Amino acid sequence: MTMRLRQIFYVFLLGMFVGLSLSGLIYWGFTSIWFGNHLTGNLGRTDVASVTPWLAPIVWEGTFDSRVIDSIYKQQNITIATTVFALGKYTRFLKDFLESAEEHYFVGFRVHFYLFTDQPEEVPNVKLGQERYLTVKTLPSMNRWQDISMSRMEILEKLIENELASEADYIFCLDVDTKFYGRWGVESLGRLVGVIHPWFFNVPRFLFTYEHRPKSQAYIPAGKGDFYYTGAAFGGSLKDVHNLTKTCREQMNIDTANSIEALWHEESHLNKYFLYNKPSKLLSPEYLWRDISMSSGSVKIIRFSHVAKNNAEVRPNL
Ligand code: UD2
């Protein structure tokens, strides 16, 4: 009898062992690279659109694997030019912008910042890492913030034309009253890249602040338009961004000749451009949030955000 009990006990132990091994094998099978594939994997989002109607990806947290995408671009030896403008009191934003970029912006890749300012002596001495460069370029001061903002298009156009051809592969143009809080990496690269404006990603199209006056070259008819893009961040290949900046500059010149200024300045022209020249990649508002202290809903990670500022105090005019 004791013998029989012992046998049952051993069979039970064996059963337990086989059962546990099988469950382990099944679990490993589902999670391992050998059995899984990208179609059965867990990348992708169901709570937000991650592709446009013209099949351009919209980059959100959870839609890419940073290790995979980093390893692809690492083999390409790329340089990312990044322009930033700080005129007048906006030089005060430079320290946070540059220091936080060192922590989060294309970490491990070659980045060349081109900083345009009317006060080179106010540029803070931020220690940049290996393969990170900063070129300061002096501009004359301007009296209207709108002119500063709009003039960026022509300055970028000329920078790409005259200096960047053999210097960089991609370019991003960023507002300076901002700070990085999370990874902004090679997942953002593409031929033509627009960033969805953080105030308009979850509102109906009729609320988009496009230019609706037909007299302006930035005119977008009611009911037209895909997304509302921010003027605070855009980028892409040198060729595509050159075409974008040249077109916007030309359209703004026509507006000036016709005594009209688009509602949101170069941002209005950028939106018109993107309507007829669709971006090949869109970045979600994770890549430009309103203010770090504001709640974010479907924006699970804030990578880059405007900093709170008192417009009346920092701008040269109202
Ligand atoms: C909005 C856009 C901005 C631009 C502007 C045009 C968003 C969230 N922001 O920003 O990208 O399209 O409207 O109407 O979409 N600057 C100076 N010195 C000045 C004033 C401006 O250097 O005295 C530069 C600086 O780089 C700044 C940028 O111009 O980041 C845009 O100006 P802004 O940030 O004051 O404009 P804002 O916040 O209304």
Q: What would the two tokens of residue 293 be? A: 């202290």
CB under 6 Å to ligand 1: residues?
A: 85-88, 90, 145, 148-149, 175-177, 197, 230-232, 264-267, 306, 315-316
Closest CA to 61 of 249, 269, 276, 303: 303
Q: Give the pLDDT confidence score for residue 158 in this predicted structure.
A: 98
Q: Find out whether 226 is annotated in a ligand binding site.
A: no
Active site residue 267: yes
Q: What would the two tokens of residue 278 be? A: 């669709």
State pTM to two decimals. Answer: 0.90
Question: Each residue of 65-112: pLDDT tens digit?
Answer: 999 999 999 999 999 999 999 999 999 999 999 999 999 999 999 999
Selected residue with higher pLDDT from 179 and 12: 179
Atom of ligand 1 nearest to the CA of 86: 22
Q: Find out whether 255 is annotated in a ligand binding site.
A: no
Selected residue with higher pLDDT from 293 and 192: 192
Ligand 1 center from residue 301 Cα (angstroms): 23
Choice among 157, 187, 211, 267 that is catalytic: 267
Q: Give the pLDDT confidence score for residue 31 in this predicted structure.
A: 65
3-state secondary structure of 257: helix
Lowest mean pLDDT segment, chosen from 38-52, 229-243, 267-281: 38-52
Question: Each residue of 107-127: pLDDT tens digit?
Answer: 999 999 999 999 999 999 999
Q: Give the pLDDT confidence score for residue 4 in this predicted structure.
A: 82
Share of the chain above pLDDT 70, in %: 97
Which runs of E-coded beta strand occur in the chain? 58-59, 79-86, 110-117, 132-138, 170-174, 178-180, 192-196, 229-237, 281-283, 304-306
Question: Each residue of 8-59: pLDDT tens digit?
Answer: 889 888 989 988 888 888 777 666 666 677 777 778 899 999 999 999 999 9
pLDDT for residue 300 is more than 60? yes
Q: Which residue has the tokens 């679990």?
A: 27
Instruction: Please state the rounded mean pLDDT for residues 240-264.
Output: 98
